[in-house]
Amino acid sequence: MKMRKYVVSVLTAAIVILICLGVRYRMQTDDTKVLKIGFIYNGDYSNAYSANFMKAQQDIEEKFGDRVETVSKYNVTDSLDRNDIQSALDDLVTQNCDLIFATSYSYQDCVKKYATKYPDIQFCMATGDNTNTGKIIPNYHTFMGRIYEGRYTCGVVAGMKLKELIDKGELTEDEALLGYVGAFPYAEVISGYTAYYLGAASVVPGVKMKVCYTNSWSDYTLEKKYAKRLIEEGCIIISQHSDTAGVATACEKTDSSVNVFAISYNKGMSDVAPTTYLTGCRINWSPYMCSAVDAMLRGKEIEAVVSGSVQGKDVGAGFDHDWVSMLEINELIAAPGTKEKVERTIKQFKKHELHVFKGSYKGVNPDNPLDTIDLAEEYVENANQSAPTFRYVLEDVIEIMQWDDK
């Protein structure tokens, strides 16, 4: 009996020692593990959209130092009739990347297929909306910031400037007209400019807006040309969901006898439009991307570490988790009190007190005229996914300009 107790005690001690050694070994392995991370961009540093993601890559490199190794693929076209994205993914897989961030919506179907093919690699798709549709792939993730919050706040800035001009007698209420240069008639773009309009309308209820599409994300010449046309149409403040400085340049160099102003996206434009630039907004990709890296280094599920609204393998957040950021406010040009108003608006978003897509408005889906909406009942954006879903053009207050003369 004593011998049996002795054997049990020895075995128990041995197991404890092995467990301790195993834990120590794992800790040593985790502490010394170098995570190889791939990044796929559809542009380079000259492109505001890609440059915004590159800030997150720099944050990862600074935060994790020699614990990460990064590989970047630039100017990978998102054209569906080319195989650039496949070539980029093949190269990153061949280089033994553990984690791959893809940054253009059009990549998503291809990236999801690669996630199915390579289950040992984690694939994180920015702006994607297909992770929870069809087959669920454990190593495929999507993420996006609630950028409508930033758009709405930019609209508030625009509204305050319009009100200042009206109060000074430089503008009548009937002349309170916004312009917007969008890339494509996608839900992401429509949701953004609708939120922008509603932010302005919260300050100047009678404001209206004209919108045009370039059908390109990065066409400087066309963005500038269309911004000039919007100015000729009487638009006082021009904003954008496009990637170049074309809009800001058009506002700065206009021949209009009326002062016009610019509001940007992803990148501040005070360098090219010092006398007309008001502010802008961007998605801050760092919180998600840094957390994803941290999760992998710690051997945890990405969604268990990221702070935000988690729905399956999809995560989103806004001002509440620092996923959305305002760009600098040009206080020399912005209306008095703008900075304070912006701060109050952001606080409201953080407390989930603002209900953006709500009011005395009706809208129509441009892809299906029979699909309409009445905002007397609030439309909750990002309720089921991080990517925007609002796709209705508000009647009577937003006009789509039909220009197609590339």
Long-range contacts for 355-361 (Cβ within 8 Å, ≥24 apart)? 356/148, 356/149, 356/152, 356/195, 356/198, 356/199, 356/381, 357/194, 357/195, 357/198, 357/381, 357/390, 359/198, 359/201, 361/394, 361/395, 361/397
Q: What is the pLDDT of residue 83?
A: 84
Mean pLDDT, rounded, for 170-175: 94
Share of the chain above pLDDT 90, in %: 85
Two structure tokens written together for 6? 């002795």
21: pLDDT confidence band, cut at 50, 70 and 90? very low
Question: Could you tell me which residue, 1 or 224, shows the higher pLDDT?
Answer: 224
Write down the pLDDT at residue 80: 60
Q: 101-153: per-residue pLDDT in tens?
A: 999 999 999 999 999 999 999 999 999 999 998 899 999 999 999 999 999 99
Q: Count the Cβ atoms, other than its own, within 10 Å of residue 70.
A: 18
C-beta of residue 306 within 8 angstroms of C-beta of residue 315: yes
pLDDT tens, residue by residue, 292-329: 999 999 999 999 999 999 999 999 999 999 999 999 99
**How sure is the predictor about 222, in pLDDT bands with cuts at 50, 70 and 90?**
very high
| DSSP structure string for 151-177 | HHHHHHHHHHHHHHHHHTTSS-GGG-E
Q: What's the whole-number mean pLDDT along residues 327-342?
A: 97
Q: What is the pLDDT of residue 403?
A: 78
- Which pLDDT belongs to residue 406? 52
DSSP summary character for residue 74: -
Q: How confident is the model at residue 77 (pLDDT cuts 50, 70, 90)?
A: confident
Position 175 pLDDT exceeds 80: yes
Instruction: Measure CA 45 to chain center.
Output: 17
In this prediction, residues 376-404 reach a mean pLDDT of: 95
What is the per-residue pLDDT for 116?
98
Residues 154-179: b if buried by 16+ CB within 10 A, e if exposed: bbbbbbbbbbbbbeeeebeeebbbbb
Q: Tens digit of pLDDT for each residue in 245-269?
A: 999 999 998 887 788 999 999 999 9
Domains along the chain? 33-145+285-318 (3.40.50.2300), 147-284+321-400 (3.40.50.2300)
Rank 40-49, 246-255, 389-398 by mean pLDDT and report only the highest.
389-398
Write phi, then psi, for 316 (nearest 5 degrees). -140, 160
| pLDDT band at 8; cut points 50, 70, 90 | very low
